[in-house]
Amino acid sequence: MFASVRPLSVTLSDVCFCHWPVSPSAVDAVLPDWLTPDTEDSSAWVSALALTMDRFDAFGLPVREGIEGLNLRTYVQTRDSTRGVYFLSLDITDQLAAETASTLFRLPYHYARIRRLRQDGRTEITARRRDGSGARLTVTVEPSGEPTTTAPDTLASFLIERDRYFTTGPLGTRLVGSVGHEPWPVQPASATVTENTLCSAASVPSTEGEPLVHYSPGIEMGVGPLEPLS
């Protein structure tokens, strides 16, 4: 349904969300001055999403297939309280797609090596950026239970159900992009993070402790064009 009204659509699968609470001031330091941290229980949050992009379609035709991705994002709002996400980095395994998406979406895409190793219901995800920055993440994830949708006004909904992202265009233009999809199907999961330098590479202090984790078998979403923020 959503792909029919948008020129771009993305089919995602095997999505692992790892969320960490961080100081609002730490997030505020890396945001453009027209955005502020969106907080829950007085904490800002940073999330790493490891995912498989099964298909990336333009006007119903496949453009790319089978790309692994790792997105680092935080939660923000504009001065008039419009909520969305701000991407700190997006790592993918297709160099041409990284270069094209950086231009098309005005987002910090990077070319990376991402590997998934599945065994006994667990998946080890290892990501290494190829630019020599040292940005990397290794996490082992084990889903449990059955997928369901998040309840409104919960922390899970705050962290997962977002339909806008903000970025900056040429000459400092304030831009907003939209996505459309059914509610995310998510289920509980446990995760062990053995290395994580994504945050420090994005100039956010390193997170401590085990993350809050959600797992989703996947979703299809339509992607709208970037527009000036009114």
Assign residue 173 the CATH number of its domain. 2.40.400.10
| pLDDT given at position 1 | 37
| pLDDT given at position 14 | 96
Residue 120 in domain? yes
DSSP letter at 210 equals P
Residue 21 in domain? yes
Q: How many domains in the chain?
A: 1
Residue 142 in domain? yes
Give the C-alpha distances (Å, rounded to integers) separating 153 from 40, 89, 158, 216. Answer: 10, 27, 7, 19
| pLDDT given at position 224 | 87
The amino acid sitting at 77 is Q
Residue 24 in domain? yes
> Whole-angstrom Cα distance, residue 228 to residue 104?
14
> Whole-angstrom Cα distance, residue 201 to residue 135?
6
Q: Can you give the residue range of the structural domain that contains 29?
A: 3-225
Per-residue tens of pLDDT for the chain, all 230 residues: 343 445 789 999 999 999 999 999 999 999 999 999 999 989 999 999 999 999 988 877 888 899 999 999 999 999 999 999 999 999 999 999 899 889 989 999 999 999 999 999 999 999 999 998 889 999 999 999 999 999 999 999 999 999 999 999 988 999 999 999 999 999 999 999 999 999 999 999 767 778 999 999 999 999 988 999 97
Residue 212 in domain? yes
Q: What b/e readout covers 75-91, taking b as 16+ CB neighbours within 10 angstroms?
A: bbbbeeeeebbbbbbbb
Residue 63 in domain? yes
Residue 29 in domain? yes
> Whole-angstrom Cα distance, residue 66 to residue 59?
18
Residue 230 in domain? no
